[in-house]
Amino acid sequence: MGDAVPPLRPPYTKPPKGASPVHAPVLVAAVIDLTEVSRQGSYVDATAGAGGHTQALLDAGAARVLALDADPDAVARLRDRFNDDPRVSPVQANFRDLARVAPAHGFDRADGVIFDLGLSSDQLDDPSRGFSFQHDGPLDMRFDPNCGRPALDLVNHLPEPELAELLRRYGDERRAGRIARRIVQRRPMTSTAVLAATVKRAIPGRQRIHPATRTFQALRMAVNDELGALTAGLQAAHDLAAPDGRVAVIAFHSHEDRIVKHRFRAWAAAGTAEILTRSPLRADAAEVTANRRARSAKLRAARLTLTH
């Protein structure tokens, strides 16, 4: 029997303009603690999103914050939220370009750079962005919709072995081969709902998480080259940080956390940084109960020791 795929239903709904952000920041107190925010300090929030960590930096006394996000919608909301605050500079940019972007906005040095990786609840909840298998939407998934190839290109044009490898590498998907085969048989994938239904049919039966979870995560990571951006962004943060400056990173899955751990170790071995978190800090039970996103968050921080 053929797959009864849901019909394509554009235009996809978008939250009303000016809707308040719903993203709840994670591990805020720990990030601020490890960053040791000082009153004259300049800070970079490399993933400003809805502005929760930026606000916490300001509340802790930061003199100024460069609030970056790759997503133009997020930056528009940041401009609204911090409208009258001369301490905040919201800028639309990818943190992989931090080495160029920070000095261009008057940040030649930073006393701290924080990264809160992945996507925000505001992005996940916006069907028009295509991040979620829970809503029908276009297969986009780009943090910056003006840059790079949308997920649609990958799912409809990658050869089957490459698609399987992508799902395996970025999603740790054990059934990558079956899923890739089914996607290729059922092409074209026209929307998130069509893709989610196709994956579900490829791996039937009861599962702990929605069967399309890993496929969507893998595609998002590939579309945005998230691991490549993280590697470049960490190096830029290292080079931008003032002596005694901090780099703090919240990661949400093992690939990201491994990159952070290895970069910090390499800095420590080279004598340019001291690792402040022997093992990653996790959210406590109360935070996880209040905010499900916090359950997989891992926070690592380093203190830069070298004068550049």
Ligand X SMILES: C[S@@+](CC[C@H](N)C(=O)[O-])C[C@H]1O[C@@H](n2cnc3c(N)ncnc32)[C@H](O)[C@@H]1O
Q: How far apart are CA 185 and CA 188, in angstroms?
A: 9
Nearest-approach distance from CB 71 to ligand X, in angstroms: 4
Among positions 94, 190, 191, 217, the unique one binding ligand X when judged by CB under 6 A: 94
Among the residues of 172-243, which ranges form H helices? 176-185, 192-202, 213-223, 226-240
Nearest-approach distance from CB 201 to ligand X, in angstroms: 31
Among positions 41, 51, 130, 171, the unique one binding ligand X when judged by CB under 6 A: 51
Contact region for ligand X (CB under 6 A) — 50-58, 156-164, 187-195, 259-267? 50-58
State the DSSP string of 133-160.
SSS---S---SSTTSS--HHHHHHHS-H
Contact region for ligand X (CB under 6 A) — 6-14, 67-75, 154-162, 297-305? 67-75
Length of the chain in residues, anyone?
308
Question: Rule CB under 6 A: is residue 95 a binding residue for ligand X?
Answer: yes
Nearest-approach distance from CB 70 to ligand X, in angstroms: 4
Question: Rule CB under 6 A: is residue 118 a binding residue for ligand X?
Answer: yes
Subset of 150-169 contacting ligand X (CB under 6 A)? none
State the DSSP string of 70-113.
S-HHHHHHHHHHTTT-TTEEEEE--GGGHHHHHHHTT-SSEEEE
- In the block, tokens 């929030």 appear at 45
Question: Rule CB under 6 A: is residue 171 a binding residue for ligand X?
Answer: no
Separation of CA 150 from chain center: 16
Separation of CA 32 from chain center: 19
Question: What is the gyration radius of the CA atoms in the chain, in angstroms?
Answer: 20
Nearer to ligand X, 107 or 197 (CB): 107
Nearest-approach distance from CB 104 to ligand X, in angstroms: 15
Q: Which residues bind ligand X (CB under 6 A)?
A: 23, 25, 47-53, 68-71, 74, 94-96, 116, 118-120, 143, 229
